[in-house]
Amino acid sequence: MENKSTNDARDAAGELVMDRVRIFLRGKTWYANFQHGKRQNRVSLKTGSKKEARRRAMQIEGKLETGRWEPEKKASSIADATEAYLNYIRTEERAEKTIVKYSRVMFRVNAFAVARRVSSLDSLDLQFLDAFRRQRVNEHTGKKVTKKTLYNESTIIRQLVNFAVSRKMLAADPLAGLKLEKPKPTPQPCWTYEELQKILAASPAVEKPAFILLSETGMRLGELQWLTWDDVDFDRNCFRIRPKEGWKPKSGDERMVPISELARQTLESLPRRWPWVVTMPASSAVRIDGRQWSERRLLGAIKRVLKPLGLPGKLHTFRHTFISNALLNNVPVAVVREWVGHVDDEIIELYTHVHDDASQAAMQRLAKVNDNLQTMENSSHGTENASAQNQHSDEEGQNARDAK
């Protein structure tokens, strides 16, 4: 009977499986060795089972016989793949904000790979992603990484790997089996109509036109920043949200938004000396008029308005409020989607806030309707009872007359 050492020596020496492929054991992994063309090839069979190694070796032999065997291409580096992916999304003319966000994620992935001393793209597997996510949670940056941020960054990494596979930079998907649970949308601040009026009344004259147009159209800030006078169609009474050189809407589609009476009055009050509808005044740092509003300056302005009013919110809250109030006032969902550019039911649901005042008012109206129905029902019963009593009295009178 052969002992274990004899078997180990035989496995290390190798075994010819068929005519061309020999398998041998190195450490705990089986390899295949064979001649192809003028080169000797050694391929990992990626298994510790001799039975499975034989099966895989026979598959290689079959491909060699039919001329279908090709050497496994070495995976590209993480650095090369991230650079290629960023170049791709730039070519696709993604929004600058999107490119900046993706660039930050690619930078973090590369830095994390360097820290783990890995460079090959096939190292970007499930264990890598799990460790990356743990590090992001444990980072001491003073700002907590939310579940939404983790989900978004993980999705971007998933897209990077998909891109690499489609470009043959990877032989196989190292993230196969990845399942990402989308976090539930977090409640967003939303102002009532009365609160919105207080905000506009307290807004400085310089920023007020921008705030009014945001509140009357539901535009995103970028859409207002890039709105030109050519986009304002007074004859058809609408704004045209459409791409321009260097910028395009988040949804990518053109759409038209009706001009309300207040929005029209605001437009008529603005000068038309520059291409942009709303412009930022000169500052001590930049003494140039007619520039597009910066998000930082407008955000600072709305924060200064909200603080003394004791209200939460940001620039995007104008959009939340517009959508919420439109739905609250029975504007059909399909029409709201046409105005704001959304098509996803989840997004509409995210913006569908029912304010406490409106909810209470609806309940009071329902209670009043129920009270009115009850009153009508009681009145009807009273009339029926009175009629029955009158009929009974008439019958008694008739009987008395007949008896005489």
Rounded Cα distance, 242 and 231, in Å: 8
Please answer whether residues 183 and 104 qualify as being in contact, where contact means their C-beta atoms are separated by less than 8 angstroms: no
pLDDT at 376 over 90: no
Strands (E), 173-327: 232-233, 238-241, 255-258, 279-280, 291-292
Per residue in 229-251, pLDDT (tens digit) is: 999 999 999 999 999 888 888 87
Q: Which residue has the tokens 């000169």?
A: 282
pLDDT higher at 334 or 186: 334
Rounded Cα distance, 136 and 127, in Å: 14
Q: Which range, 287-291, 292-296, 361-365, 395-399, is most confident? A: 292-296
Please answer whether residues 371 and 271 qualify as being in contact, where contact means their C-beta atoms are separated by less than 8 angstroms: no
* The predicted structure's pLDDT at residue 72: 73
Rounded Cα distance, 62 and 55, in Å: 11
Q: Which residue has the tokens 């603080």?
A: 307
Query: Would you call 42 exposed, middle or buried from its count of C-beta atoms within 10 A (0-12, 13-18, 19+)?
Result: exposed
Rounded Cα distance, 212 and 227, in Å: 14
What are the C-alpha distances in Å from 207 to residues 183, 303, 304? 35, 12, 11
Query: Would you call 60 exposed, middle or buried from its count of C-beta atoms within 10 A (0-12, 13-18, 19+)?
Result: buried
Can you tell me whether residue 39 is helix, strand or coil? strand
Contacts of 299 (CB under 8 A, 6+ apart): 314, 315
Per residue in 24-77, pLDDT (tens digit) is: 999 889 999 999 888 899 988 989 999 999 999 999 999 999 988 887 767 789
- Give the sign of the dihedral formed by CA 306, CA 279, CA 219, CA 205: positive
Q: Which residue has the tokens 């993604």?
A: 94
* The predicted structure's pLDDT at residue 372: 74
CA 80 to chain centre: 27
Contacts of 227 (CB under 8 A, 6+ apart): 213, 219, 239, 241, 276, 277, 278
Say how many Å lie between the first and final Cα of the chain, rounded.
Answer: 135
* The predicted structure's pLDDT at residue 97: 84
Instruction: Name the residue among 221, 216, 217 with its Cα closest to residue 301.
Output: 221
Of 79-88, 93-102, 270-279, 378-387, give the lowest mean pLDDT range.
378-387
